[in-house]
Structure 1
């Protein structure tokens, strides 16, 4: 008689196994039939939720996507771990943005390794967080704040707010930044896919670490800094505030717009980084 198959492992057990493998620095590539590799496909990542301020829906593989000088199917612009989502900006005759994002059930040990190597968090890959949705909505509804200005988004994740500014405000330039190189790859892909809706606005991605010296060509060069939910990790507060101060032009009209949920006990007010201003 064949032995009964082992009982399925709980999601919590699978997550601990993933972390253990990462800490032991075992190779991240596994055989397709590796039991742990197969099981992790069923481990969900935390959903960010949202307020549906910017309506969105996932695209099927066969759905058409307009890209510069071509029309492709959604499956032609995403990788095997990705999904394609269309966001409709809440404006009369407003454009739609197509965003390539990591699948919510996809787990990769490389994420842990990159986090350790660059001393960064991996929240940008986890999901699109509710504060990003709210920030994007606020920016779309206040385009005059960005018109003809140089704007940078910090800790951008997949870059929804920065892309929304570029598509709706006639900004001079929008830089969409993050400290995680994998996240910045997604940002650049999303910029390329949506280039046709930016008009004359220059849009680029950037790897930006808050705890490192900034290159000279970005110092004191931006009119507006925007960020959403970038104050979760207290150990980054001081470097974040210093980065904002270094990026903004020395002008009375330069401003930083931070939006994050109230969590209490934050140090940002003490070091001059205003958040939750809306």
Structure 2
């Protein structure tokens, strides 16, 4: 084979590898099937043994060890496999037993209200979270991971110096994605997840254990109930955060004043224990609500800096919503 032919094969192999990696990330994050790169997948099928590509795709998704232990929902896996079977049949190849065997396993599975979503880290390994399938459950939206938390996690992975050897407090941790990413990759000294909804806290504690954050050798980790309006100054001093972070906490006008008051109190802690940084990532769904938050910050003397540096795309999520990252300071 000529050097040009070998170079072409290498390009095709690299393209196939990228497609399989993208499918894997989308599958474990339970993204809509319409978001998959089907056109690229069809082109790859034209350049190689189609059955082999389907087998490799199964090994990266339904047959992957993560899926065997903590799978996406049965309904989602069923839809995914049905789509794969339809596309494999369109290639006019012989039926692929592996596809039908995988579907049979899913059809025999019981549907649960709780599913697992996994997000692969650049350095290896995955963050796996137990979440509710419903957007609203137990009277809260905190039982699922929202886009701003994914964005905050991506920003943290690109800025580990903001957390390394620091005491970190996260407000409104939800299912824990951002905090797990920080603990796994940014080496904080201590990390406190916090929320106030009993169901969210219960699931959050489970996710902290699920990701091995209580293992010896890692940062000290705690999950705390934190009512923004009722927490005492003494408790805030005990937490002694160097860095405070939050994602998607600026969406309800009814809690903004309480949140702003808490942020001001955190920055007013005596200098030896005052947090040096407060970072908030917000999906700007309602510009009026977000503008009100920024005005209230200004009224209590909190200045903000919009962080505009590019953030590497690591996790799959809907990027159509505007997400703004700010740093607050006095």
Matching of residue 245 in structure 1 with residue 264 in structure 2: yes
1:221 positional shift? 1.0
The residue aligned with 2:69 is 73
> Alignment RMSD, CA only?
3.2
Matching of residue 135 in structure 1 with residue 131 in structure 2: no
2-side partners of 1:178 and 1:205: how far apart?
Answer: 8
2:240 and 2:275 in contact (8 A); partners too: no
1:229 positional shift? 1.6
Matching of residue 88 in structure 1 with residue 120 in structure 2: yes
Match for residue 232 of structure 2 among 176, 198, 214: 214
Could you state the TM-score of these two structures normalised by the residue count of structure 2? 0.54
1:207 positional shift? 1.3
2-side partners of 1:152 and 1:256: how far apart?
Answer: 9
| Cα deviation digits, residues 96-143 of structure 1 (max 9, x gap) | 1111111238x75xx23xxxxxxxxx1212x32111110110011111
Unpaired runs of 5+ residues, structure 1, are 1-51, 67-71, 113-121
Check 1:207–1:196 CA distance in 2 against 1; reply closer, same or farther (3 A cut). Answer: closer
1-side partners of 2:259 and 2:278: how far apart?
Answer: 12
1-side partners of 2:112 and 2:173: how far apart?
Answer: 23
Check 1:158–1:182 CA distance in 2 against 1; reply closer, same or farther (3 A cut). Answer: same
Check 1:234–1:128 CA distance in 2 against 1; reply closer, same or farther (3 A cut). Answer: same
2-side partners of 1:143 and 1:225: how far apart?
Answer: 14
- Which structure has the larger Rg over C-alpha atoms? 2
| Cα deviation digits, residues 141-162 of structure 1 (max 9, x gap) | 1111101111111112101001
Unpaired runs of 5+ residues, structure 2, are 1-21, 31-60, 72-110, 307-323
Alignment map for 1:195-206 (pairs within 5 Å): 195=212, 199-206=217-224
Give aligned pairs, total: 203
Matching of residue 192 in structure 1 with residue 209 in structure 2: yes
Match for residue 130 of structure 2 among 77, 95, 100: 100
The residue aligned with 2:142 is 124
2:195 and 2:226 in contact (8 A); partners too: yes
Matching of residue 269 in structure 1 with residue 310 in structure 2: no
2:166 and 2:190 in contact (8 A); partners too: yes
Alignment map for 1:29-178 (pairs within 5 Å): 55=25, 57=28, 64=65, 73-74=69-70, 80-89=112-121, 91=122, 93-104=123-134, 111-112=138-139, 122-125=140-143, 127-178=144-195
2-side partners of 1:163 and 1:214: how far apart?
Answer: 26
2-side partners of 1:211 and 1:61: how far apart?
Answer: 45
The residue aligned with 2:196 is 179
The residue aligned with 1:257 is 279
1:150 and 1:221 in contact (8 A); partners too: yes
Check 1:74–1:215 CA distance in 2 against 1; reply closer, same or farther (3 A cut). Answer: farther
Could you state the TM-score of these two structures normalised by the residue count of structure 1? 0.63
| Cα deviation digits, residues 191-228 of structure 1 (max 9, x gap) | 10112697421122111111213362433711111111
